[in-house]
Amino acid sequence: MENAKNRPAETEAQARNAQDLGSEKLRLDARFHLSKDRGFYGPGTHRLLLLTEETGSLLEACRRMGLSYSKGRKIVSLTEQQIGCPVIERQQGGRSGGHSSLTEEGQKLIRCYHDFCVEAEECLNELFQKHFHTF
């Protein structure tokens, strides 16, 4: 068996990195998705709606997320089908270009999802500490 003095430098560096990783504290990583017939709303869809509201454009929101516009439209369409109402109001383009904004229900959806996630994370972190405090 090799001792630390006989190990190549690269192997010693790997050993130090492994020790560093071992000292990283265990944490909870939870994400929430809403489902009906199928999953339709989670962190990605939430961000898409927030960016649409912020930019006034579904197209610009898609660009910022690295999504094609058709993919963004499909995401919005699925969300609207699953909750049974529009979440985005669209004005067709023209000289001044189009505009998108969230409907009242769309605003309510992002607010409820955000509030739920904040509260659920607080509860889950409490449970996580209760059960994993020794790690």
So what's the pLDDT on residue 24? 85
- Residue 3 forms part of a structural domain: no
Helices 104-132 and 69-83: crossing angle in degrees, nearest 10, is 90
Residue of 95 and 101 predicted with greater confidence: 101
- Residue 121 forms part of a structural domain: yes
- Residue 27 forms part of a structural domain: no
102 and 110 Cβ atoms separated by less than 8 Å: yes
Residue range 98-119: mean pLDDT, rounded: 97
> Domain count of the chain?
1
pLDDT at 10 over 60: no
62: domain range? 33-132
- Residue 48 forms part of a structural domain: yes
Minimal CA–CA distance to 33: which of 127, 122, 116?
116
Minimal CA–CA distance to 30: which of 42, 47, 15, 18?
42
Q: What's this model's pTM, rounded to 2 decimal places?
A: 0.78
Residue range 6-24: mean pLDDT, rounded: 54
